[in-house]
């Protein structure tokens, strides 16, 4: 009987071990996935956080702190090194020279956050902060990872148009929209605001500039209507910024045009009548003035005794 139950007991124990192992791997994977995400704008100074808290003052003489680029393909990975409370630039990568700072007044409290100055596209990396303690042997006491993503706001879109392409009753018109100085690549939307319907762009060009940012140019070709309301939207997904420009056209009806022309004709005739009356009044004043002056002038033939 014992021999019959033994295999069953062994199978249960193996399943339990496998279940524990799977649970451990799942937990490990979950911990690995937890990482700090930081978004910075190009050209800004950004802080990469690293806090090693022990509830009291730390003895920096026994610590070594390394900030590194987490990329095995990099030939140089050292971003910053703090050895026994002093910065060490001997192994620092050239790309990070004179671009890193620590918060010196917070080091004893375990705040080893790194200030990275004037960030650029090449700084968009995964970084790791490693704190080592020197006692009887060197051991790692803290490890953090930070992922830095970069972004730049696009300029306010400029919407141009419509450009008439034909002379037909249902002529085709072209709108153009442009924006620049943004990062990363944007999403571009054309929207008919009369019914909030998305329209397909006729052309979309996204160009990488020399400063590492992007410029975008898009066109839209549609049939003209009497009431066109078109919107061009530029969306930066990382910054969650949505900039837009709008065009609205309301064509005046024929009856309105006729009424306007009638009013304009009346105004012109009225102005002409006022002008004629003014000239007549002025001439009458001049005649009266001439007669008055003639009467006051003495006669040259008057005899004196």
pLDDT tens track for 239-298: 999 999 999 875 433 333 444 445 555 566 666 767 778 777 878 787 777 776 777 666
Pairwise CA distance, residues 127 & 77, whole Å: 9
User: What is the structure's pLDDT at 4?
Assistant: 42
If you average pLDDT over residues 103-113, what whole number do you get? 94
User: What is the structure's pLDDT at 138?
Assistant: 87
More confident residue, 83 or 28: 83
User: What is the structure's pLDDT at 124?
Assistant: 93
Domain 158-250 has CATH 3.40.50.720: no
Would the pLDDT of 32 be above 70? no
What are residue 264's phi and psi, to 5 degrees?
A: -65, -40
Pairwise CA distance, residues 177 & 204, whole Å: 10
More confident residue, 18 or 220: 220
If you average pLDDT over residues 196-216, what whole number do you get? 94
User: What is the structure's pLDDT at 168?
Assistant: 58
If you average pLDDT over residues 228-235, what whole number do you get? 96
- Choose the most confident range, by mean pLDDT, from 30-39, 112-121, 131-140: 112-121
Q: Domain 35-151: state its class.
A: mainly beta
Would the pLDDT of 60 be above 50? yes
| Identical fold, 35-151 and 158-250 | yes
Would the pLDDT of 113 be above 90? yes
Q: Do 186 and 236 touch, CB atoms closer than 8 A?
A: yes
Percent of the chain residues past pLDDT 70, beyond the cut: 75
Would the pLDDT of 1 be above 90? no
Q: Within 10 A of 50 (CB to CB), how many other CB atoms are there?
A: 24
Would the pLDDT of 31 be above 50? no
Range of lowest pLDDT (20-24, 104-108, 285-289)? 20-24
pLDDT 10s digits, 120-162: 989 999 999 999 998 888 899 999 999 999 999 999 999 998 8
User: What is the structure's pLDDT at 271?
Assistant: 67
Pairwise CA distance, residues 119 & 102, whole Å: 16
Annotated domain spans of the chain: 35-151, 158-250
User: What is the structure's pLDDT at 250?
Assistant: 55
Taking the CA atoms of residue 20, residue 26, residue 32 and residue 38 in that order, the dihedral angle to the nearest 10 degrees is: -140
Q: Within 10 A of 96 (CB to CB), how many other CB atoms are there?
A: 19
User: What is the structure's pLDDT at 98?
Assistant: 95
Residue 165: pLDDT band (50, 70, 90) is low
pTM flag (> 0.95): no
In this structure, what token pair is assigned to residue 127? 């970084």
């Amino acid at each position: 009987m014992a021999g019959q139950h033994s295999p069953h007991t062994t199978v249960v124990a193996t399943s339990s071990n496998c279940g524990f192992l799977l649970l451990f791997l799942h937990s490990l994977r979950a911990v690995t996935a937890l990482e700090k995400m930081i978004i910075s704008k190009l050209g800004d100074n950004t802080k990469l956080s690293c806090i090693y808290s022990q509830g009291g003052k730390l003895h920096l003489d026994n610590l070594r702190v390394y900030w590194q680029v987490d990329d095995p393909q990099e030939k140089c990975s050292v971003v910053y090194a703090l050895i026994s409370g002093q910065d060490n630039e001997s192994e620092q990568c050239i790309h990070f020279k004179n671009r890193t700072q620590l918060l010196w007044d917070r080091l004893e409290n375990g705040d080893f956050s790194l200030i990275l100055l004037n960030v650029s596209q090449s700084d968009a990396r995964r970084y790791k902060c490693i704190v080592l303690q020197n006692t009887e042997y060197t051991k790692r006491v803290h490890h953090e990872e930070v992922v830095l993503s970069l972004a730049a706001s696009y300029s306010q879109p400029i919407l141009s148009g419509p450009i008439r392409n034909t002379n037909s009753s249902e002529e085709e018109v072209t709108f153009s929209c442009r924006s620049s100085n943004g990062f990363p690549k944007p999403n571009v939307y054309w929207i008919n605001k009369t019914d909030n319907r998305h329209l397909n762009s006729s052309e979309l060009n996204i160009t990488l500039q020399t400063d590492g940012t992007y410029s975008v140019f898009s066109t839209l070709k549609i049939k003209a209507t009497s009431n066109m309301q078109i919107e061009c939207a530029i969306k930066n997904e990382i910054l969650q910024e949505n900039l837009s420009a709008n065009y609205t056209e309301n064509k005046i009806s024929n009856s309105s045009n006729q009424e306007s022309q009638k009013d304009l004709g009346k105004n012109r005739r009225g102005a002409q009548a006022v002008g004629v009356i003014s000239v007549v009044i002025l001439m009458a004043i001049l005649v009266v003035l001439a007669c008055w002056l003639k009467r006051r002038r003495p006669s040259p033939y008057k005899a004196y005794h």
